[in-house]
Amino acid sequence: GQTAAMYAGLFKRVELLDELKAKGADLNAEDPIGNSASRLASGEIRTPAPR
């Protein structure tokens, strides 16, 4: 699943990412398809491979 940091990254909420990181959030934690807060904040969004 996604974390609060991932949603903050997706919506480019840099100030919220900074606060979450200061509280110990791992901005490099990945969801099952490889998205992380850091990647999402930089505009890189991975989607599931088509079946």
Cα–Cα distance list, 44 to 2, 6, 8 (Å): 15, 12, 14
- Predicted structure pTM score: 0.86
pLDDT over 90 (residue 16): yes
Q: How far apart are CA 1 and CA 33, in angstroms?
A: 10
pLDDT confidence bin for 11, thresholds 50/70/90: very high
Structure tokens belonging to residue 45: 């969004």
Whether residue 1 is predicted with pLDDT greater than 90 in this model: the reply is no
pLDDT value, residue 21: 97
pLDDT of amino acid 14 = 95
Per-position DSSP letters for 1-51, written without gaps between them? ---HHHHHHHTT-HHHHHHHHHTT--TT---TTS--HHHHHTT----PPP-
Convert the pLDDT of each residue in 27-46 to its tens digit: 999 999 999 999 999 999 99
